[in-house]
Structures are given as C-alpha cells and as structure tokens.
Chains A and B, each alone.
Chain A
Amino acid sequence: MADAVILPKLGQTVEESTIVKWHKSEGDDVAKGDILFEIETDKAVLEVESFFEGKLLKVFAVDGDTLPVLSVVGYIGKDGEDVPDQPPAAVVPATPAPEVSEKKAAAPKVAVAPVASPVAKAAAPVVSAPVVAAPVRLKISPRAKKLAVSKCISPAGVTGTGPEGRIVVKDIVAYLDSYNYDDIKISPSAKKLAVNEEIDILTVKATGLGGRMVIEDVRRAVDEKPKTMTKMRKVISQRLTESFRDVPHFYVTVSVDMTDVLAFRQEVKSQGGEYSVTDFILEAVIMTLEEFKPVNSMTDGTTVTWSSSVDLGLAVGLDDGLVVPVISDSGNLSMQELHDTVKDLATRARSGKLMPDEMQGSTFTVSNMGMFGVDNFNAIINPGESAILAVASTIKTPVVKDDKVVVRDIMKLTLSVDHRIVDGTVGAMFVNAVKEKLEDIALWETLV
C-alpha cells in the first residue's frame, strides 16, 4: 500500500502550514531522505524529507496552498499502485488530541530536515500512537432501542436476528423473556432513576422486601457503572501503555544514605535556606545527567538523539492524574533557581495552571513518592525519554557502617531504563553516581 505524505505538525500551536515549494513532482522517484517540499509555519520555513522510498504517485496540494497540519498532501508508493483521487479529510483535529488512532498517527513518519531540529524535538513527544479501535456500533432498530430504553435494559447483550444482524423488537422481547423480565419487581422511583442513569436493571441485584428492586439497588449500580476516563487519564493511559509495551525496561536500585544530607539541609534551614529534599535529589540527578550522555538521549528505535541540555521532568501527582512539568535547561540553574523553579512549577501543576509547552520536551523524569511511605517502586518511562528515576521514602534502617550496625536514613532509588540505548553497566553507574553525590556533603557545601 502506498504511504501517505503528511503535512507535519511542527510545534504545539501550529494549526496550519503553507506549502512554499514542492521539490518533487508527481511521477518523480523519491529516495528516503529526499526533500519533498518546504513548508512555512508562523515561525519558520522548513524542509520536509521523505521517509519513504518509491514514486511520488499523487500530489494534492500545490505551491502556496495553506492546509491544516496533518493533512495528507500526497502518496508515495510503487509505480502503478492505486492511490485515492482525493485526499482523505484532515486526519487529526488541529488541536493536539491524544486520542489519535493508529492510522492517523502518520506524523512520526514525517522527517524534518535538520534545520527544524529544535522544533522536531519539541514535536516528538507529542506523537503517540495508541490503537483505539473504534467502538463497534450496535446495530439496533430505533424501535428496538426505544423498547430497551423503556424497559431499562442494555441491548448490548442481545443477539440481533433482523436483516444484517440488526437487533429488532422481537429480539429484545425474547431477551426479556429469557430473564423473566415480567417477574422483576421494581419500585417506581428505582425505575425512574434507572431510566435516567441508563442502568440495565437486569444486572442489578434486588435487595428490597420480597425481592423487590429498590432505589438503593439502583444507586449502587449507578456507582458501579463504568465511567469514562477524564481526558488526562486517557492521555496517561495511552502514553504509558505505549511506553510499557514498546520500550524494553530494566531496573537498577540503590540505597542512598540520606542521613548527612538531611542534617545538612536542617543546618541550612536554620540559617534561613529553604531547600526541600527533592531539590537535593534533582540537583544530583541533573549533574549526573550531564555526565551520562546516553541517559539524556532518546530513541525512536532506529536513531538516537542526544540532547545537549538537561530538560528535567518532574512527575507531580494530582487528585486524579499526573502531570510532568519540565525544568528546561536545568543544568544552567543555581540551587536557588532550581528550588524556585520547582516550587513554581509544582504549585502551578497542582492548580492546573501549567501551559502545554511547559509539559513538553523533557529528556528524563524524576518521580518522587518519598512522602508516601514506600520502600521502593519501579516507574514507567515517559515516552520519548530514556529513563526515569523512582525516588522512594527515606526510612530509618539498621545498616552496617564501619562494621557497626547503626540506624541511618536510607532512601531507595530505582532507575527504569530503556534498554535500547542504555545497558546495565551504564544504568548501574548512573544510579551510583547519583548516590555518591547525595552522600557527598562537601559537594553540597559548594553548591548551596
């Protein structure tokens, strides 16, 4: 099948782009990496390369056309292959929508020439390709549907025997009979609630006198009813599923002795310095990332891209969900600046005030569950990153120090790593490097 050439979405806010100039015409041979056309966004003129090898079979847009991003502008395929005469409707809504079905996620196939690299980096994490099968539409006649609604049952389990397997009235009637529907006793208020809440009363356990279904029963059913995820949960669900399924994770854990750094923090505090434990952990991670190139990289499976700046993601838990604000170019921040930035981002994250761009483009994430009394945990890598560091609670633990059993404040760090670009030794070295820094008071004295 021919591959669609798609007008790339370059940048978060870009909704349409103009094709400035085609470099290829219909019928031209195209090699992978050839420049297909130049596009202009509100920011810049960029060249778009081909990801496909073959013949440019069809071109839908001419120079100067302005189109919604992600529009199909042509097809590349084998000579003589059939391609549509008309472009399909714009494949993805112009606003970023995580609920992109697989076919539509053609965006990652679009390469952008190096000139566009800063944008490309920002764009990359936007891409996610969960397979959301379109829900199968229940084939049911309006009359049957009306009957089902009036009887407070869900027709989902009814077998259709009408033409083309459509559920028709007699199927509903048979279904009701099979449940001895007429014997169901239900209070009028319970029935009313069931109708309003679309509760299938065949699934509700009746607890009223003499087997009567009462309003409490229906209320319980309402509570148990599947609820649609919030948009954020759907995004989390899709992105993490994608990561956990596609990225080969491995985990390395170390125990960090936090006793000294905690004492140091108290000391600084008594002198008016306001640092959180997290600040120390993040600073240690930032420094370590600057030392370990592969861990500050990402891969699409075929290429590895290193980022010269450390854009650190910090997972922040919300009432229902999780966001990851990004501390951009964190390597250039002083401890004080880091503290202020983290505080600001976390506060705004909790109040939902983050801008979309502030949650894009991280290279590595820290997930801190220290305040939740956990011994240890494994985190799932944020799509587009190479690793994530899971920070557990600091727990007073008997340890052997200088051959004596002493009580120390021990915190476990577990690094989840994308094995495609980071191997065990690097992973081990990385966590140990973080550990060393946290345990090195002399270092902190120079930083704070």
Chain B
Amino acid sequence: MPNYLSNSKPDFKPYTVDCGEIKAFSYKKTLKSELSSKKVGKQECIDMLEDMMMIREFEEMIIKLRSGAYPSCAGFDYRGPTHVSIGQEASAVGGCIGIAADDQITSTHRGHGDSIAKGCAAIRAMSTDELKKRVPKSKAKGRKDLLEAVLEDHIFKTCAELFGKEAGYCKGRGGGMHIADFSVGHLGANAIVGGGVPIATGAAMAARYKKEKTVTACFAGDGAYANGVVLESLNWAAMHQFTNHLAKGNKFGLPVIYLLINNHYGMTGRADDEVAGVGCLARRAVGFADNNMHAQVVNGMDVMAVRDAVQTAAEGCRKGKGPYLMEIDSYRYYGHSLSDPRNEYRMREEEANWKAVDPIDTFANKLIKNKVMSAARYESLKMQVEERNAVAAGRAAKSPDPEAIDVIKYMYTDGNSEEVPAKHQKVKIVKEEPVIERDAEGQLSYKDAIKEALLEEMKRDGRVMIYGEDVADYGGAFKVTKGLLEAFGRDRVFNSPISEAAICGTAVGAAMVGLRPVVELMYMDFALMASDQISNQAAKWHYMTGASVEVPVVYRAAVGGGKGYGGQHSQTLETMFAHMPGMIVAYPSTPYDAKGMLKTAIRDNNPVMFVESQMLYGFKGVVPEEEYTIPFGVADVKRAGTDVTLVTWGPAVHDALKAAEALQAEKVSVEVIDLRTIVPLDIDTVLDSVKKTGRCVVASQCISNASFTGEIASQVMEKVFDYLDAPVARIGALNGIAPQSHVLEAAFLPNANDIANVCKSLM
C-alpha cells in the first residue's frame, strides 16, 4: 500500500497571492527597558561588548601582522587569508548570543568573528568543571581566573589555526577559512561561498530527526544568496513534508536560522544596485516559504537588535516553527581582503557614515550611559582584551608547526559504526518490511542485493536515513528503495527536491552531527551538479578539521551507460572522485559484492562514492542470507590465470570474464581481478599477479583519457617494471561522449571481444 496518493483537481478560479510583509528595523527596545525587564543582565551586556572587542582586536592584529607591526608576534611571517570582518562584530556576537550555548553555527570565509563569538558564548556558559577541562594544565583557581584562562586559550587556538600551527583548533590543516570547533557547536567556516548553507540545513534536519532541540544558525553573506546551493537549501528547509500531514508524528520545521549578513558587497559586487534584482535580500525567503520564513531585516550595527531577533527565532525554532531567515544589515570597513583597497568601488564617505554607527562604540556608550559600567572599566577592559590577545598570539606564533611528515595524516579515518549506540539500535518498523525473495539457487538481483543491504542497515542502526529524488513512495527511479518508506516512515526515507547539491550538502551536515545518510543521485552524471558538496565538503572536512569530525555519508550513484541514454546519462565518472582525496570510491560488480560493500560503506565513517551499474541491476547472483560485509581495499581474484592479468571493476568485470573464457580456448590463460574499490586501491594483489603473468591489461567503462585505468597502469610500470613481458595496456570507452544511437554506443563501450583483443595483442 503506498503511503500517499495525490488526488488534485484543476482549479483555475482567479485569486491573488499574498506575499505578506517583511518588517525592517522593528526592534525598538532601549537598553534601559531590556535591563529593567530582565531580558538582559548587566554582566551579559559587558560580555557581549567584550566579545565584540575581542573580535576587533583579533582582526586588527591580522592587519598589523601583515606589516610586521604586532609586537608580540615580531618576526613571525603570517601567510594566509586576511578576510577581516571589522564593522560586523554585532552580527557575529548578537547571532551567537541569541542562540543557546549548545546550539550550532556554520560560518564563512570571513568567519573569525563568528568563530570567536561562538566560542566565547559557549565558554561563558560553561560550568567550572567544563572550563577546567578546556585548560587542564592551567593553574588558575576560581571561576574568574579560569574563565580568563579559557578565553585566552580560545584566542590562542584560533590564532594558532590561523597561523597553521599544530595547536590550532584544526591542527593547522584548515586555517582561518575552515576553522571549526565541534566541541562548542561550531560546524565550520567555509571558504566556498555558500558552501556551509546546506551543511547547516542538514544539521538542522538531523536535529529534527533526532528530536533534539538544537538550533543551527547559518551565517552567510549577501553574495552567497545568489549561489545555487544556498537557494536549494532554502527550498529544502521549507519543504512542506516536514510540517504537513506527511510528517505524521513529527511535524516540525527545520530548526535553522539563516543569518544573511548583508554587508552590501560580495567581494566587490554590490548587492544593492548591481548583482541582485531585489532591494531587500530578505525577500529571498518569500520565494521559498509560505510564511516567508518569518523574514525580517535587522540592524546589524546594534548587537541588542541582532540578539533579540535571533533569540526570537531560536525560540520559534525550538517550537518547530523554523526555518527563519533574517537579513542583518551590516558593513565591513575594510576591503574583501587586505589586498583590496576598495577605492575602485566605494567612497570613503560611505565608510565614514557606517563607522559613525560603529557597533562597539555605540554599545559601549550605551553601557556607560546606562551605568552598566564605568568609562574607567571600559578602558581597563580594552587593556585586558589587548593584553590577552597579545599573549595568546605570541604563544601561537611560537608554538610548533605541524610535522611535514604528517602532511597527509587525517585524510581518512579508521572509524566505523561497528558498535551502534544502544539508543540507535531500537528501530521502529512503521509498517511491513519489503520482502526480498531469493530464487531457488539462493540468488538475488544486484538491485535487490542493494535493497537488502539498505534494509538491514536501517534496521541495525537508527542513524541511517535515505533520501534523494523519488526514493520514497515511488521507490527510486530504478526501484532500489521500493518498500523502504513503508518500512521506516518518511522521517527516514523521503523524497528530496531536485537539488543534487543540497542532497549531497545536507548529507554532510547531517553526518557531521551524528547521522549516517545514504543519499541517492539517480544518474551518476548528476553528481557533477553537486561537485562542491561531494568533493570540497564531504571529502575534505575530516582532514581540514585535523580529524575533529567525521563525515559518514554514502552517495549512491547509478551509471546509465549502455542504455542508449546519450551523453548526459551514461557517464562512468568514478575517476573524478578517485581524484578527490578523502573520498572512498567503490563500484561493485556482483550482487554479493553490492550487498556486502554497501553495508561496509554505510558503516564506514569516511564519505563513500558508491557507484552502481544500471545495466547490472537485473544481474543475479548468490547472496547468502547470513550477515556479511566486504572490506574496502581488498580486490577479488575472479579467475586465476598465468599469462595476462586483467584488472577491472564494475560492469567491465563481466566482459573481462567473458574475454578470459574466450581466450582460454586459444590457450591464453587470463587472471581476472575485480578491484571492487578503486580508493582504497588494492595494488598489491595486482602487482603479485603481474609478477606471475608478466602482462597487464586494465579495463573499465570509463573513457580512457585521464582515466583511473592510467593510474593503475602507471603504478604497475613503476612498481613491477622488470616483471613486464609487454607494455601495460588499457581499454575503456572511446575518448568521446556517449552517443544515443545504439549502434554508436555499442562501438563506444568496450565489450568482451575488445578486451580479448587487447589481451591477445600482448601475447
């Protein structure tokens, strides 16, 4: 029984769409009223001021470092980006104070402020014990001193990361543009403009699924709001299915607050008159949600206004009213980076106008005026902030660099989910499980083997969820997921919009916070729509954070080659992802392997590009009913031989076996090796075989030009040259574009005969 059958009727009665209103600058409260209504405490005000001052001090240090004018780092040569956010401190601090200490953020290439603010907000909320844990070596006693030590340590670790030091938050692997501290809910700055937005969305989706009250605040600039993946994410977050009848018992909007930090410039491109068609960027929300995502425009130079708006949004999120979008109207005093003198595109008068409402000066004056603190206290606070930064930066500059030998350490994790935490072992079967029947010989089709793996893993671990285009009621374009919605419900199996980048990017965010998404890309060709999310985000975060996060996602991508679907539906692209360090690339050739490898992929804590062959979906093979998994990086010798080693993977394995059979009749004995995963690559099995046979042919369905077959050929030549009795040969699809014509496609793809001929040419 399908879960949900639509039944609409045409209805062309005229009506008017009411786009609602977006309020701008509606915060009218005074500090006095906030204090008297106890909406804010005095100390909290001073803390916010101090946090803003810390950010400014830190970024002014960066400017000074560039000219060698920061005394405590004299002689230190800072190399790296200089994207300072001076002028925007109120949005960082207001944003991070407005959410709870254990809420989450994602940030941007201009993220020092967000990073410092999130850390400070979390630190100030810590218990004494928690503080102690952050500075185990400190001799500080009493909460005040301890807090000071932890704040100094926070600046130290931030600086050290900026300076590429081992002591940095990400061990110097990420730097300022990729800084993250998962211990305080900082899910990472992102040097890809807009790249963090689907991650925040995915993290919010995970919170919704886990029914945790965590809110994610997503910082991104005006520039980012022209980027496809950002718009895809907004659409994603507002999907009706999260809140309507389809959500059944979990009607809960995504708890995400999109903080659109409008500083009026991309790098130099102007949101105002130039590269956008709306006067108010908050209008973006109108296109995606009937409730306009509660959009409003907030004075980003007023920390109290930002705090207030974000607080309200966070409260709403916790009630399931998310997502929220607010445009924070702000300004950066400096250029995009210090190499940008900004006089080509804006006037100094404009800067002066904004500086006149400087978030720090205005707030400090208010605090003094309202007797929250004295002018003298402000002066001493300035000194304290300066001194703290100087000490921390000096320590960071002198701290050790990472060891060069460790340059590729942290690329992959050994982690996996062999142990499922007890709370995730309890899995609810909503209705009936799909029945997967074996034939009399105990065989399953490749497709059913994959489904069985999904079914078993979803039953085994409640953190595994499936989504993608059409995977729910319809069961996927190739019916691989048919029946899983019925078994597990729409919280765990749902249709996504046609947003490949958001599919892949939300999976990264969800994986970062503890889920294990298995997402489907239908045709592998569509993975190119999500290149950034797969290659820059999923693949890189473990390394870029110095191994402080793992990204256990599985991207299932089906190759359409052989069906006459033409150039955009037929590509064999695993080579592209093998070129992305951090990814695992698997391509099973049999039902047995498909099931065992998918189970391994789901349990592995590395991101996996799991390639499937549509041509093999109906291919049958024996799949035992007992539990088994197949380790990655272990090739399978499909057939032993003595004359030629035929290395292959994916559907080409079957052609290779046919070729071997044919060659047997000609007294040529072929050893066929199915690599199963090309990353990790089991080169030893290949080399041992070539040592024996002296000849090597590498076959795949990738076009040969720049294919992974070349990588294998090259390694064979490098490592066992003296054993070769003939040059290593390769065979793949012709170096062209897959044609639709059946005749042409047959000529395009390698077949058993072609493979046999290449083998023979070496004899």
Contacts and interface: CB of A to CB of B under 8 A. Distances in A.
Contacts of A146: 722-723
A231 B721 CA distance: 34
A162 B763 contact: yes
Interface stretch (A27-35, A78-86, A163-171, A304-312): A163-171
Nearest to A170: B725
Contacts of B725: 141-144, 162, 168-169
Give the bracket for the number of chain A residues in contact with chain B. Answer: 10 to 19
B368 interface: no
A142 B763 contact: no
Nearest to B726: A141
Contact of B721 (A142, A144, A162, A169): A142
A167 to B, nearest CB: 9
Interface in A106-142: 141-142
Interface in B673-730: 694, 721-726
Contacts of B721: 142
Given A141-B694, A169-B694, A163 B724 contact: no
B728 to A, nearest CB: 11
Nearest to A163: B761
A142 B722 contact: yes
B24 interface: no
Chain B CB within 10 A, most for which of A142, A144, A145, A166: A142
Interface string A141-156: 1111110000000000
Interface of chain B, main secondary structure = loop
Give the bracket for the number of chain B residues in contact with chain A. Answer: 10 to 19
B724 A142 contact: yes
A169 B722 CA distance: 11
Nearest to A161: B763
B762 interface: yes
B666 to A, nearest CB: 15
Contacts of A162: 725-726, 762-763
A201 to B, nearest CB: 21
A146 B726 CA distance: 13
A151 to B, nearest CB: 14
Nearest to B690: A143
A146 B694 CA distance: 11
A397 B725 CA distance: 71
Contact of A143 (B724, B761, B763): B724
B726 A163 contact: yes
A162 B763 CA distance: 6
A406 B524 CA distance: 111
Contact of B722 (A143, A163, A166, A168): A143
Chain A CB within 10 A, most for which of B721, B725, B761: B725
A166 B726 contact: yes
Contacts of A144: 725
Contacts of B724: 141-143
A141 B723 CA distance: 8
A143 B723 contact: yes
Interface string B720-763: 01111110000000000000000000000000000000000111
Contacts of B723: 142-143, 146
Contacts of A169: 694, 725
Interface string B195-239: 000000000000000000000000000000000000000000000
A202 to B, nearest CB: 21
Contacts of A168: 694, 725-726
A24 B699 CA distance: 57
A169 to B, nearest CB: 5
A141 B722 CA distance: 8
A144 B694 CA distance: 9
Nearest to B761: A163
Nearest to B724: A142
A142 B725 CA distance: 6
Contacts of A143: 694, 722-725
A145 B722 CA distance: 8
A126 B721 CA distance: 43
Contacts of B762: 162-163
Nearest to B717: A142
A407 B736 CA distance: 97
Interface string A328-356: 00000000000000000000000000000
B137 to A, nearest CB: 58
Contacts of A163: 726, 761-763
Contacts of B726: 141, 162-163, 166, 168
Interface string B7-38: 00000000000000000000000000000000
A53 B724 CA distance: 52
Interface string B484-517: 0000000000000000000000000000000000
A162 B644 CA distance: 14
Nearest to A166: B726
A288 B724 CA distance: 69
A195 to B, nearest CB: 15
A336 to B, nearest CB: 68
Nearest to B693: A143
A146 B721 CA distance: 10
A108 to B, nearest CB: 42
Contacts of B761: 163
Nearest to B760: A163
B689 to A, nearest CB: 13
Nearest to A140: B725
A169 B721 CA distance: 14
A138 to B, nearest CB: 15
A142 B690 CA distance: 12
A142 B721 CA distance: 6
A378 B278 CA distance: 105
A162 B761 CA distance: 9
Nearest to A162: B726
Contacts of A166: 726
A143 B762 CA distance: 13
Interface string B630-644: 000000000000000
A141 B727 CA distance: 8
A355 B725 CA distance: 50
A150 to B, nearest CB: 10
Contacts of A145: 722
A144 B725 CA distance: 6
Interface in A212-262: none
A44 B723 CA distance: 58
Interface of A: 141-146, 162-163, 166, 168-169
24 contacts: A141-B694, A141-B724, A141-B725, A141-B726, A142-B721, A142-B722, A142-B723, A142-B724, A142-B725, A143-B694, A143-B722, A143-B724, A143-B725, A146-B722, A162-B725, A162-B726, A162-B763, A163-B726, A163-B761, A163-B763, A166-B726, A168-B725, A168-B726, A169-B694
Given A141-B694, A162-B763, A166-B726, 15 more contacts: A141-B724, A141-B725, A141-B726, A143-B694, A143-B722, A144-B725, A145-B722, A146-B723, A162-B725, A162-B726, A162-B762, A163-B726, A163-B762, A163-B763, A168-B694
3 shortest interchain CB distances as A-B pairs: A143-B725, A141-B725, A143-B694
